[in-house]
Chains A and B, each alone.
Chain A
Amino acid sequence: MRKIIVHVILIFLIIVILFPTVWVVTTSFRRDEAAFSSELFSSRLTLQNYIDLVAPQRNVPVLVQDMQNIISRAKPFNQLTSEEAQKKLEDSLRKLEQYLEQVASKHKMTKDAYLIIDDSLKKKGEKTRESVLRNLQQLRATVLDQIEGKFGSTDQHKAVLYEYLQKESFDSAIFRAFKQDLEKNVGFSIGSTQDYQRAIEILKDSYDLYIGNQLQRLNELSARMNQLNNLSSELKKQLSPVQDQVLKANLILENDMLPELNALVDALEKLRNLKVAIKESSAKSTMPLDDSFFSKSVHVALDQTLRIEQRLETLVDYTDLKKSVKDIMSILEELADIDSSERSKMSYSDFIKGYKEIQPRLERILNEVESTMISLEDKAFVLNDISEKLKAIADDIDSLEKEKSLIQDKVKVIESQLQEPRRIAQLRVFASDLEARISTVNAISSFARTDLLRYSTLLTWLRNFANSYARKDEVYAKLRKIIDEMRWIEEYRTFSTKFENASKNLDDVLKQTNDLLNDFEKTWRDLLSVSYSGVFVTSDHLSKLDDIVRSDFVNRVRSDLAVVMRKAGILMNLVPFSELRDDFKTIDREFYRIDQIWKQKTKHYFLRWVLNSVIISLVVALITTAVCATAAYPFSRMRFAGRKYGIMSFLLIQMFPGVIFMVAIYNLLNFLGRYIAFLGVDTSGGLILAYLTNIAYNMYLIKGFYDLIPSSLEEAAIVDGATRFQSFYKIVLPLAKPILTVVFLLVFIGTFNEYVVARIILQNVQNYTYALGLQAFAVGPYETEWGLFTAAALLGMLPMVILFLSLQRYLVSGLTRGAVKE
């Protein structure tokens, strides 16, 4: 048991882990555009991606372009002689004609297949209709079963009835659907508009009682709340300027008037001191002084401060101000209290003078304070008023809110009670509609365009109802089943319209092409000879043809072709008549071929890239193996200075991947290329040179193997007269063949898989290695052409994976001494 679980887990994990590879394999055989497909895998397969990579066909666009180039003697045909050009053009022309014939015959095949399909479906129209009808009738039965006798005469039902009927007129479809229920509920039969209105009245009463009143109340409440909210926001708007003014007044009071008042208090205090001094002074004045102004003004000021104080009392804040005002008041009181003994003193006149100095300031500031206080009081009153109003409104809103939520709760309960009756009512309407639909289906006699349209509208209607139907019960299941079963009819409708369209346009395009080609055939020899007499010419026919290939075909045929192919792919599994499957397949296959013949394909150099990679890897592997094999020999067999640390230092120096020195290598090649063309940047030679750095580790591997070869063999050879080099060359090397093969293959794989250095050194697309080329397949215009990309990836990956797996043994044994691939 445990074992099985282990296996299951392992297999599951391997599937997950290898999924990217599986994806690469399956996608490379896919015919559709995998990047845009909503399916992970597809059953419509092709080898076209591989053909496009390995043996690109000269299809119609290429041929047309080539012919034009031959005519105008453009590259790559500028070197042809007149005869060669003529021959080449003839060939191309013949090829093009072949293609056109092929397209025509394939098109004919698709038309035949389509006719068969159309015919047989028309013949089976009866059967289709029967099956649809049967389905619909079953549906009706299910629906009727659901609603049979379910519609009682409770309040809920009456309410729902009213909901449905309130806006209906007498004798409308919905009325008819509910007629019986209505009659049952109101208790009299309804034969006229008056009856109907009476019935509705009755229903309305019941509805209002049950839910309508509540809803109405709810509406009222909402309206009222709205109103109140508006009011409160209006008030709030008024509030802010007043608040602003109060704040400003406050500022003035605190920062402007208060300091002045305090200064005044100081001055008055001095005056008071003077007065005390007067009392104690002895010098008498000679004549009495007129101080009526003083006494009058002091009392006025006193009164004013009193008023101010009273006003201030009503306010909570302003303690500083209050204190100052109080001080002034008390001082003034003291000043006012003047008896005759003081009056008679000599310095009294000084006192009066002093007061006269202060008085204007006192008067002014007291006036200001008073007026500010008055306005402040007004504002405070307004503020108070508004906030009280706001509070009242908020209370109102609160209570309304409470009432509203209460009603809402009630309504919610009622709504939940209504759910079931509503569903029944919905089904009832649906059932009555279904009757009508069944009769339309009954009227369908064949499988022509109009009939397809009818089926399609029926399907849309069913789908809409399924989407609006909330419960997932048997009605819903039945509905879904019918929709699924009928889907093919809709798909077929698109298929047939698109097919006819594409077919017609294709005929058109083909005819134009043939006409142009015929004309061209009459003129091209002359044109060519004109071109070869040194005049630059182009063929108008060919440029027109090019237009057709590039735009007419693409705009008028290709998009429809794609739809037809996709729909055919869907229909071959969906159509209930399995004998038609082959015909759909034919259409799909032949259209795909036609599309391939006409399709404008992007140019690439895949074979060139692979060839570059293989050549570079082979040369690098060969040189590296040779150099390492010789260099390893003395390390294994001879004694010399540096033997012990030689390989070690080699290994150490080479531990740094060449990528780190990319600037240096690039520069070196750039410099070399100025003088030795084949070793420069953007050449295979330069890249090979840059790759020849991988020596130390391979030397070490080979040395290890040499150590295992018994040296007695060489000694025997040397005794026989061989030189040291001969013994190495003729004895050691052949014996070391296995390790040399391994090293060769390892270097080959390593070089083939290298990306960075190639990226830096190669620039021209034609010089790319496979690694760079594959990247070119994955970016830019190719980013979504997954078929081509995955096919290219698979072609490169397969030999490498096989090589790697077969060398696994050596890798694993070498690992304990140091990573190989890394």
Chain B
Amino acid sequence: MKHLLKFFLWCIFVLMNIFFFWGASFLIQNAYYELGIVFFVLLFLIDFFIFNPRAYPYRYIAPALALLFILVLYPIYFTVKVAFTNYGTGHYMPRQEAIERLLYDPNYTYIIEEDLDSNYKIFVIYDGINPTEDFIIVFNLDGKPFLAEKPTPIRRKGKEILLSESFLYPINSEYVQMNNRTYHLVPWTGELQDLKIITIEDKAYKAFYSPKDEFLQVNSPFFKSRIAQQYLYRADFVDQQGNRYALRISSAGEWHFAKIERLYRLGYDESFENGKIGLKMTIYNNKTGNKVTEKDGAFYDTNENGESVFLLGFIDYVGSKNFLRIVKDPKVSGPFLQIFLWTFLWALLSVVLSLAVGLPFALILNDKNVKGRNLYRTLLIIPWAIPVFISALVWRNGLLNESYGLINKFLLPLFGLNPIRWMNDAFWARVGVLLVNIWLTFPYMMTISLGALQGIPPELYEVAMIDGAGRFKRFTAITFPFIMAVIAPLLVSSFAFSFNNFTIIYLITAGGPPIPGSTTPTGYTDILISYVYKLAFEAGRGQDFGFASAISIMIFFLVGGISFLNFKFSGAFEEVGR
């Protein structure tokens, strides 16, 4: 039994090794070098832990380490890397992939024989009365009949198929031999429209669609949506001479087959570098013979007027451009400065004001003479207990809404005040989000203050009373300094948390109202982190992962600095290291 278990564990270990090794090689093959290296390092570490008896304690930590590597360290690295690139709208793929796309994507082909006399007929297998996606095609190209099977993918990017291919076999008789299979064409008269059925072994392909056959027009929607779009659009059909045919939409809006050729090909260019002659990979335009140029992380072709035409962007290293943009571009730096200052103000006010609300409650509830303090405390904690997104949505929708919200509809008219434009006025939007945040966090402040209050030795008060100190004096001289000494580190981490409190800002105002005249999506209540989110994920103005990452790094250093100092001064290092 024990041996069995051991064997089982070893099996798992071997499998894991294989997985990591395969994963790492696969990643490196696909140009994800960094992640591949992470995998290799992990593999090495795990093996080391297992085989070295002295590394026994590390075996326990391995899973945590793996998660840390993949989900924390790699993202940190990735963010730093992206911050120096132009990754974003128009620049989504690595250079290698961009080249592949230029070479294989059907968008980059051109038709070389426009008025080709072509006809085709699709045959599919039916499942009962429903057509399936299993089909073959019979062609008539320039009077010569061909048969082709369903195209098979030859170039993929993940699940996405870049290009599929299928071969055209000439039809000479009613039997066509193809890939060791024999297709029987019934009946074969040499004319496409007469052909009714094609059998192979026990399968039968029935005539399904042909552009010139009126009886089969019924199936046109299925053909277009399920066969043409999914299989034929990205497929080349190659005959024995190597000519390529592909389905294209003609100027009349009809799907027909045309003789095509790739627009781009790879070539090598001699270049002089350091006095040596080297070969440099270059892309040529087949049609015009022009060289494709590369500029600012994108490929450009030259048209007949000699103008550069944007082809395809790729991810390119841009140096510190993203960081410089924050300082140099006035349309970015102005709003950015506003956001930056507001983020600090927001975090500071959140902490100070919620402490100002929470502390008095703590003082009252700390009084042992107040009956039912536990009940009061529990009730007051409720705003903290409610999930933040629920509170935010409730406030946004029920209370702060400009036309139906309770505050505008019931509370303000009670005092004869005009409705407040919570969502559209910069000042009031800020007041609104602060209000909600104070409501959410004062119970936390109250709780930590209560904890701190309980640690104050009562003798201090007795002595102070003997010295004739009044109530207020006792508060300023004893209570407050004592509380602050205990909760100061918590306040700092609270500050750091508010600094990145995306949920409230995003759910209540979504950063709005927008700051006019900015080229990036900015709003008056935006804090840095919501700004990053908008830059990266709100596609309205195009995504800009590079710039978003640059700001992420700034946040990283700001928050990291604050927290590090906090750790250092609160003595958390010693406590943890114990």
Contacts and interface: CB of A to CB of B under 8 A. Distances in A.
Interface of A: 3, 6-7, 10, 13-14, 17-18, 20-21, 23-24, 27, 35-36, 38, 40, 533-534, 626-628, 630-631, 633-634, 638-640, 643-648, 650-668, 671, 673-675, 677, 689-690, 692-693, 695, 699-700, 724, 728, 752-753, 755-756, 759-760, 771, 774-775, 777-778, 783-784, 786, 789-790, 793, 796-797, 800-801, 804-805, 808, 811-812, 815-819, 821-822
Contacts of B497: 819, 822
A36 B406 CA distance: 11
Given A21-B382, A699-B64, A655 B389 contact: no
A677 B160 CA distance: 12
A777 to B, nearest CB: 8
B417 interface: no
Given A658-B71, A668-B74, A819-B444, 12 more contacts: A23-B398, A24-B398, A631-B64, A660-B529, A664-B74, A664-B82, A667-B545, A668-B35, A728-B60, A755-B388, A759-B506, A777-B393
Contacts of B390: 774, 793, 796-797
6 closest A-B pairs by beta carbon, nearest first, are A674-B158, A664-B75, A634-B57, A661-B75, A534-B129, A631-B64
Nearest to B563: A655
B559 interface: yes
A634 B58 contact: yes
B137 interface: no
26 contacts: A3-B371, A17-B383, A18-B383, A23-B398, A38-B409, A627-B64, A631-B65, A634-B58, A634-B61, A643-B57, A653-B76, A656-B560, A658-B71, A662-B533, A662-B536, A663-B79, A753-B387, A778-B397, A796-B390, A797-B390, A804-B381, A808-B381, A815-B447, A815-B451, A816-B490, A817-B572
B549 interface: yes
Contacts of A774: 389-390, 393
B486 interface: yes
Interface of B: 26, 32, 35, 55-58, 60-61, 63-65, 67-68, 70-76, 78-79, 82, 129, 157-160, 361, 364, 367, 369-371, 376, 378-391, 393-399, 401, 404, 406, 409-410, 439, 444, 447-448, 451, 486, 490, 493-494, 496-497, 500, 502-503, 506-507, 529, 532-533, 536-537, 545, 548-549, 552, 555-556, 559-560, 563-564, 567, 572-573, 575-577
A316 B263 CA distance: 90
Contact of A6 (B364, B386, B410, B500): B364
Contact of A660 (B371, B395, B500): B500
A653 B60 contact: no
A639 B56 CA distance: 10
B577 A660 contact: no
A5 B85 CA distance: 64
Query: Interface of chain A, helix or strand or loop or mixed?
Result: helix
A631 to B, nearest CB: 4
Nearest to B537: A760
A790 B567 CA distance: 41
Given A648-B577, A816-B486, A756 B506 contact: yes
A640 B394 CA distance: 51
A819 B388 contact: no
Contacts of A816: 448, 451, 486, 490
A663 B395 contact: no
Contacts of A6: 364, 367, 370
B57 A638 contact: yes
A663 B507 contact: no
Contacts of A692: 67, 71
A297 B378 CA distance: 117
A668 B70 CA distance: 9
Given A630-B63, A634-B60, A638-B57, A815 B490 contact: yes
A637 to B, nearest CB: 8
B64 A695 contact: yes
Contact of A790 (B67, B385, B398, B532): B398
Contact of B559 (A630, A655, A759): A655
A285 B68 CA distance: 126
Given A40-B410, A661-B75, A689-B71, A821 B384 contact: yes
Contacts of A13: 361
B68 A695 contact: yes
Given A17-B380, A627-B67, A774-B393, A640 B75 contact: no
A675 B32 CA distance: 13
Contacts of A10: 364, 370, 376
For B63, B387, B494, the residue with the greatest tally of chain A CB atoms inside 10 Å of its CB is B387
Nearest to B81: A664
A243 B393 CA distance: 69
Contacts of A815: 447-448, 451, 490
B369 A3 contact: yes
Contacts of A755: 388-389, 503, 507
Contacts of A648: 573, 576-577
A668 B410 CA distance: 48
Contact of A663 (B26, B389, B536, B563): B536
Contacts of B567: 652
A661 B394 contact: no
Nearest to A640: B57
A14 B380 contact: yes
Contacts of B61: 630-631, 634, 646
Contact of B159 (A21, A638, A674, A759): A674
B57 A783 contact: no
Contacts of B398: 20, 23-24, 27, 786, 790
B15 to A, nearest CB: 16
For B73, B385, B564, B567, the residue with the greatest tally of chain A CB atoms inside 10 Å of its CB is B385
B493 A818 contact: yes
A753 B74 CA distance: 25
B64 A753 contact: no
A216 to B, nearest CB: 42
Given A40-B410, A654-B72, A822 B493 contact: yes
B68 A653 contact: yes
A819 B494 contact: yes
A534 B131 CA distance: 11
Nearest to A21: B382
Nearest to B499: A657
Nearest to A631: B64
Contacts of A24: 394, 398
A662 to B, nearest CB: 7
B441 to A, nearest CB: 9
Given A778-B393, A778-B397, A653 B502 contact: no
B502 A756 contact: yes
Given A657-B500, A690-B71, A664 B78 contact: yes
